[in-house]
Structure formats: C-alpha cells, structure tokens
A and B are shown apart, each in its own frame.
Chain A
Amino acid sequence: MAIISINNLVKNYDGEGLEVQALRGVDLTVERGEFTAIAGPSGSGKTTLLNLIGGLDQPTAGNLTVAGKELNNMSARELSDMRLHNIGFIFQAYNLIPVLTALENVEYILLLQGVDKAERRRRSTEILKEVGLAKEINRRPKELSGGQQQRVAVARAIVSEPELVLADEPTANLDQKTGSGLLDLMHDLNHRKNITFLFSTHDRMVMDYAERLIRLTDGSIISDERKKSSRESGERKKSGSRKSKK
C-alpha cells in the first residue's frame, strides 16, 4: 500500500524575475515500510521534493498524496496537524529546541498530540533508551555531541510512531562512524516498527544502506533502483553495526 503517491509534480521558484524549475513533473510512489534514499547533486531538487512531501511547501502543479491525504488543498493548520500525526522529521542540523532537555525535546511531539504526562514520559524515556541515550535524557542539546543530538532528533521523529519519517541529509554533519551508527539505528527502527523512511542525501553511505535509491537530476528522476529487501538489508547492517561497536 502506497504511503506516498506523486503524480506529475512540478515546483517552480521565482528568482529575481527568472523562473527556476526545481521539479519538472515528478512521478513517484513509495510503499509503506520502505527505506528509500533520494540522491542527487546540490540543486537537483531532492530537498524541494522532501519539503513538498512534508507539506512544508506547496507544489506549482501536480498531485501529491501522503498517508492517504491529498496535500494540495489543505490549510496551514491541516498541514500542521498532518505533519504532527503522520510524519516525523529529521534535519541535517538536528534542529532540537535548545532550551529543552533531550527528554523534553522528545516529549514535545507527544505533548502537541495531547498524550497525557505519564504516558509521554514513559514513551519518551523508552525511545531515548532505544537510541542509546538513557544517561543523557536530562541534558540540553548544547551538552550533547552532534551524533547524540541527531539521535535525539531520531527519537523525536519516531516517538509518536508516525507512518513516515523524512530525513533531510541526516548524516551530513556527522563523522562516518557516528553516521553509520545512526543509519543502523534508523534501519533497525524501520525493520522493527515498519516505519517508512525517506532520505534526501548525497552521502554514499546512506545510498548503500537504502533498499531503494532514486536519483534526481535537474528536477527529474533519472533512475529508480530497488536493492535488497528491507528485512535482509536490515539484518546485514545490524550485524555489521554490532561488529563496528566492538
């Protein structure tokens, strides 16, 4: 069953009198539980595509359905609610709320969803343990390393168990070892919780982890390559990661 369904998506930007075509009629379908990467050079349109899928931007033309919802005619509030309930976001620059602790950052999403305090605390603590930050839950972002901050961001993205996680170059600011560990983690979550992950990246490591690799150039998909199944790939990466941890 498709979680993302895109039909002839076009996005143009007005740049000082010159119209820039960021996406030129993209067609794409992503099934539930996929672990997909959109790769391409800078300016290829991958972040624009992710922003449109996340309801952060409006397309110039075309149809876009996410989690069964037609995004084209949704109001700002409806889009906000859709992002809250259906999508988890992971940003390149972590983007945690600096005045909140790791636990509070993760809890924040559940708070917006109206989950009661005890349940919020239980689920947030649990997810932070899962991402290996049991001892850091009361630290604020500036007291955490880049890798730890990105783990908090992952925990925040998945704590409400969304159907889809959009990750915009999540490893770009991390060293290889930390990035690899993070991908292991996300792959494991994809495997265990059947959460769909969609990355934008130009990191070779992310492309290697992805079970489906979509290449984008000048706003058009030039290739769409399916690799091993999520389950098989996940098992391989998990065992690899365990070795690397030793």
Chain B
Amino acid sequence: MKTFILLGWRNLWRQKRRSLVVIVSITLGVLMMLFALGLMNGLIAQMLDNSISTKLGHIAIHKNGYFENMKLETNFLPDPRIEEVLRKDKDVVATAPRVKTFAMIRTSEASRGVIVFGVYPEKEKKASKINEYTLPDEGGTFLSDPNAMEILMSKSLAEKLDVYVGDKIVLIIQDSKNEMAGVGLTVKGFFQTPVQEYDNSVVYMGITRLQTITGLGDNISEIMVIATDKEIVDDVKTRLIKNIRNAALEVMTWKDMAPNLVSAIGLIDKMLYVYYAIFFITVVFSIANTLIMSIMERFHEIGVMKSIGTRPSQVFFIIMFEALNLGIVGLASGILFGVGLIAVLSFTGIDFSIFMDAMRQWGAGSIVYPFVYAKDILVTLLVVECTTIIAAIYPAFKAARIKPLEALHYI
C-alpha cells in the first residue's frame, strides 16, 4: 500500500506545473469556501447577538400566552422564589425584569406607534447592550432612575419625530383597565443599535414609572435572562421550568422567540450547499482532466506495470492515490491559508460600512468578524476529499482497463 501511495505521490510531481495548477485551484476553492463559511458564521453570530443583546435575551419568562399575543394584561408578579431560582442557577449571568406594551408617541410634528420597554436601568445595563448603544455625542445619556419621567429612543426615530435631547413628547398608552392614558416625558437620550427595525419601533423608559402609568403595580411582562452561552439555552430552559414550578409561566429560549431568525440562518446554511456544488463541479473536472492527461501520457508505462503482474485493481488504486494526493496537498494548503486569513480577519474584522443600511436591515453590524467552527473545516475536508475521489473514479477505472499489449505498443 505504501508503495502505491508513493507511486501516486511521485507521479504527481512528474508534471509539476500541471499538478500545481490543480493544487492552486483546490487551494483557492478551499480558501474561498472557508472564507464564505467564516463570513456567514460572522454575519449569523452578529444577527443573533444583536437580537439577543437588545430584544430577546437568551431566555425570557412570561405569563402563558404573552409571546403569542403581547397584551399588557398578560403579566405576572415576579415572586422572590423565581428570583432565587435565577440567582442560584450556575448558567444565569444576568436578569432584567421588563414591562412591555404598545404605545403611541406624539410630538408637534408627528406621531408614531412604538413598543415601550419599561426597565430597571441598572439591571438592563447588565443584561442588554442598550446602554452601550446609547449615543453620548448626541448630548443625552442612558436612563438612570426607574421612576423618572424620561424616555430613551433611537436616533432614527427621533429624526422621524423631529425631537432632540431635552424635548418633551407625549406617550399615549392603554392601561390595564383598557383606558387611554397620556403622559408627558422628556427625551433623555438617543441610541442606535445594529438592527434598524428595532430602532424604528422600540423606546425605553423607567419600569416603575411605566407600572404607575399602566396601573400594573409591581407586575411585569417578562424577565429577560442572559446565560453563559447562547448554545446552552435548551438545558437552562429545562432547568428553569423544573425549578420555577409555575404552570402559569412560559420559559422560552431565543430559538423559540425568533423562529424567523432561525429560519434565516437555516436558509443561509443551505445557500452554502450551492457554493459547495460550484466548488464540486469545478474541482471534479479539473482533477479528472489532469488525471486523464496524466494517464494518457503514461499509457505505455501502465501497460508495462500490468504486463509484469500489476492487477487492474492495483492500477485503479495507484490512480486513486494520485488523486487523493492532489486533493490532500490542495486541501492542506487551502485550510492553512483559509484558517490563517480568517484568524487575521477575526481580529481586524471586515468593514462593510458602505453597505451599512443593508447590513442594519439584516440586523448585522457594519464590521463583520468572520470565524469558522471545527465542523466547517471537517465539512470542507470531506467535500474536497469526496470530490477528489469521485473525480478520480472514471480515470482510474479507465487506467485499470488498459490492455497491457495495446499499451506496450503505444509510444
């Protein structure tokens, strides 16, 4: 076997330039494949992180039915036992109780429907990134007092409403008794998240003030939970359901709450198969062509090998090893350069500022940090090696069927 591998290896380098062309094409293919995977991973991770770090959290606890139909009356009292369960769970990093309700903002220039998040500013700072997204350059700050008559809105919404920091707006809310209540609030500051849709629809104010306006008392709409990692949420969810033991509450992960996002990620993953297919077709023909040329050049030599007793199956394997060697060298250099490139870009990021609007619509930031999982490298490895093997089958089969006498006469 070793000699057949050796033969395959040495035959590869008989036509250095030709083999190098194929190796470079495989290298570039693998490099581009890893880059595409890395970029998609980076985009998906940003889309997820941005949604998790603003709106969703890793896990949310609501009263049953709240997620399906977000009504103010679907609320619950966060009893100390729930807080204790959350505090004691080893994977819970932060929690943020919220009141969430629909409202309308009116100014002298315009009015707009929004979702109001009533939050404890200090807890929200720990659980979400909204504090980081607040724009101090615009003259405002993040909320500080849960009972203050203040509101925080996005810069883009402020532009639509034509308001500045320090201006007054009127917030019109339907309270828990289904009566309309209007309250004047001061614009405390502006924020800008990477998610355009979020910026256009969400405003923040102190939770105590919102509870007073809506008549909720100490009740809340949800507890947003941040876990140590977004991949372990299913385990944490199971544990929380078990420990909270309250059938009136629903515990949902980000996957439950953002099925569209999960579908989009699935779609992006499927798009990669198209890329694999393009790579597959290119490499199959490239390798098959190289091997057929190589076999034609060695027609006589293969005839000699067969005439001195090499079995057809052994000739088949020699050609297969030759192809595998081509694939392995191309793959190794492709993975080396690909992982190297992604390692650098994962620190520097790729600046997509010129597509900022489009990126914000996707819920991603303007700088994407690509990365690859070990499974991506494994999939690439399998795709390339399978491609190589498939490409080599026909030439190897042809070589195995060469008639020794015919080949011996071939010069």
Q: Give residues in A with beta carbon < 8 Å to B.
A: 51, 54, 56-57, 76-77, 80-81, 83-85, 89, 91, 95, 97-100, 104, 107-109, 111-113, 156
Contacts of A81 in B (CB 8 A): 309, 311
Whether B309 lies near A97 (C-beta < 8 A) is no
A112-B311 Cα distance, complex, nearest whole Å: 9
- Beyond A99-B14, A108-B3, A111-B3, is A84–B308 a contact (Cβ under 8 Å)? yes
Which residues of B274-316 have CB atoms within 8 Å of chain A's CB atoms? 300-301, 304-312, 314
Whether B7 lies near A99 (C-beta < 8 A) is yes
**A–B Cβ pairs within 8 angstroms, 27 of them:** A57-B405, A76-B312, A77-B312, A80-B306, A80-B312, A83-B307, A83-B309, A85-B309, A89-B307, A91-B304, A95-B300, A95-B301, A95-B304, A95-B408, A97-B7, A97-B301, A98-B301, A99-B11, A104-B6, A107-B3, A108-B308, A109-B308, A111-B3, A112-B308, A112-B309, A112-B311, A156-B308
A85-B14 Cα distance, complex, nearest whole Å: 30
Whether B311 lies near A80 (C-beta < 8 A) is yes
Contacts of B7 in A (CB 8 A): 97, 99-100
- Nearest 7 CB-CB pairings of A with B: A84-B309, A99-B10, A95-B304, A56-B405, A83-B309, A80-B311, A111-B3
In this complex, the member of B304, B307, B309, B404 whose beta carbon has the largest number of chain A beta carbons within 10 angstroms is B309
**A108: nearest chain-B partner, CB-CB:** B3
Q: How far is the CB of A157 from chain B (nearest CB, A)?
A: 8
Contacts of A107 in B (CB 8 A): 3
Q: How far is the CB of A88 from chain B (nearest CB, A)?
A: 8
Whether B408 lies near A97 (C-beta < 8 A) is no
A54-B304 Cα distance, complex, nearest whole Å: 12
- Beyond A99-B10, A104-B3, is A56–B309 a contact (Cβ under 8 Å)? no
A104-B6 Cα distance, complex, nearest whole Å: 10
Partner of B10, one of A57, A80, A91, A100: A100
**B300: nearest chain-A partner, CB-CB:** A95
The total of chain B residues at the interface (CB under 8 A) is: 21
Whether B310 lies near A56 (C-beta < 8 A) is no
Secondary structure at the B interface, as helix, strand, loop or mixed, is helix
In this complex, the member of B14, B300, B311 whose beta carbon has the largest number of chain A beta carbons within 10 angstroms is B311
Secondary structure at the A interface, as helix, strand, loop or mixed, is helix
A48-B404 Cα distance, complex, nearest whole Å: 13
- Beyond known contacts A84-B310, A97-B304, A98-B14: 11 more, CB 8 A cutoff: A80-B311, A80-B312, A83-B309, A95-B304, A95-B408, A99-B10, A99-B14, A108-B3, A109-B308, A111-B3, A156-B308
Contacts of B3 in A (CB 8 A): 104, 107-108, 111
Contacts of B301 in A (CB 8 A): 95, 97-98
Which residues of B1-56 have CB atoms within 8 Å of chain A's CB atoms? 3, 6-7, 10-11, 14
Q: How far is the CB of B58 from chain A (nearest CB, A)?
A: 59
Q: How far is the CB of A87 from chain B (nearest CB, A)?
A: 8
- Beyond A98-B301, A99-B10, is A51–B405 a contact (Cβ under 8 Å)? yes
Contacts of A77 in B (CB 8 A): 311-312
Q: How far is the CB of B6 from chain A (nearest CB, A)?
A: 8
A108-B304 Cα distance, complex, nearest whole Å: 12
A6-B171 Cα distance, complex, nearest whole Å: 111
A100-B309 Cα distance, complex, nearest whole Å: 17
A98-B312 Cα distance, complex, nearest whole Å: 20
A91-B408 Cα distance, complex, nearest whole Å: 10
Q: How far is the CB of A210 from chain B (nearest CB, A)?
A: 23
**B4: nearest chain-A partner, CB-CB:** A111
Q: How far is the CB of A57 from chain B (nearest CB, A)?
A: 5
Contacts of A95 in B (CB 8 A): 300-301, 304, 408
Contacts of A98 in B (CB 8 A): 14, 301
Contacts of A156 in B (CB 8 A): 308
A104-B10 Cα distance, complex, nearest whole Å: 12
Contacts of B304 in A (CB 8 A): 91, 95, 97
Q: How far is the CB of A118 from chain B (nearest CB, A)?
A: 14
Q: How far is the CB of A169 from chain B (nearest CB, A)?
A: 13
**B298: nearest chain-A partner, CB-CB:** A98
Chain B 372-411 per-residue mask, 1 if CB under 8 angstroms from chain A, else 0: 0000000000000000000000000000000011001000
In this complex, the member of A91, A95, A156 whose beta carbon has the largest number of chain B beta carbons within 10 angstroms is A95
Contacts of A85 in B (CB 8 A): 309
Partner of A54, one of B305, B307, B314: B307
Q: How far is the CB of B318 from chain A (nearest CB, A)?
A: 10
A91-B301 Cα distance, complex, nearest whole Å: 12
**B404: nearest chain-A partner, CB-CB:** A56
Q: How far is the CB of A165 from chain B (nearest CB, A)?
A: 12
Whether A80 lies near B405 (C-beta < 8 A) is no
Q: How far is the CB of B301 from chain A (nearest CB, A)?
A: 7
Whether A56 lies near B308 (C-beta < 8 A) is no
Q: How far is the CB of B304 from chain A (nearest CB, A)?
A: 4
